[in-house]
C-alpha cells in the first residue's frame, strides 16, 4: 500500500539509522541493494545532550531537515534526545 512507503533517517550523532521502503508490484522487486545513509553534512544543525550539557551541536546529514527533542528523565526535565530527522511518506 502506498501509505506504507516511507523514506526516513534519524541521526543521533553517535549513531544513524535509515529506513527505506519501496512499494512495487513486480516479483522480487525487493532484491535491490540497501542505500547507504548520506555522510555529507547539509548545513542544518541541532543541539543534543550528553551527561554534562545540552549545548552540543549535531551536524545533520543528507536530507535530514528537522530537529526534534524528547525528554526521558522526569527528575531533571532535561532534553536527553535531540536529533536530526527526515521523514517522507509517499
pLDDT-derived band of residue 90, with 50, 70 and 90 as boundaries?
A: very low
- What whole-number distance in Å separates Cα of residue 29 and Cα of residue 41? 31
Query: If you search the block for the grid coordinates 554534562, which residue do you land on?
Result: 52
- What whole-number distance in Å separates Cα of residue 5 and Cα of residue 22? 6
pLDDT digits (tens, 9 = 90+) for 4-40: 677 777 776 666 677 766 677 788 777 777 677 778 8
In a domain, 28, yes or no: no
Q: What is the pTM of this model?
A: 0.62
- What whole-number distance in Å separates Cα of residue 8 and Cα of residue 33? 17
pLDDT at residue 69 greater than cutoff 50: yes
Q: Residue 55: which domain range?
A: 2-23+38-89
Residue 52 C-alpha cell reads as 554534562
- What whole-number distance in Å separates Cα of residue 60 and Cα of residue 38? 10
The count of domains in the chain is 1
Amino acid at each position: 500500500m502506498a501509505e506504507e512507503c516511507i523514506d526516513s533517517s534519524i541521526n543521533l550523532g553517535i549513531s544513524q539509522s535509515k529506513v527505506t521502503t519501496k512499494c512495487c508490484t513486480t516479483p522480487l522487486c525487493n532484491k535491490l541493494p540497501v542505500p547507504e545513509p548520506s555522510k555529507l553534512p547539509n548545513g542544518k544543525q541541532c543541539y543534543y545532550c550528553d551527561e554534562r550539557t545540552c549545548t552540543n551541536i549535531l551536524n545533520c546529514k543528507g536530507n535530514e531537515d528537522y530537529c526534534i527533542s524528547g525528554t526521558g528523565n522526569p527528575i531533571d526535565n532535561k532534553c536527553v534526545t535531540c536529533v536530526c530527522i527526515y521523514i517522507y511518506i509517499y
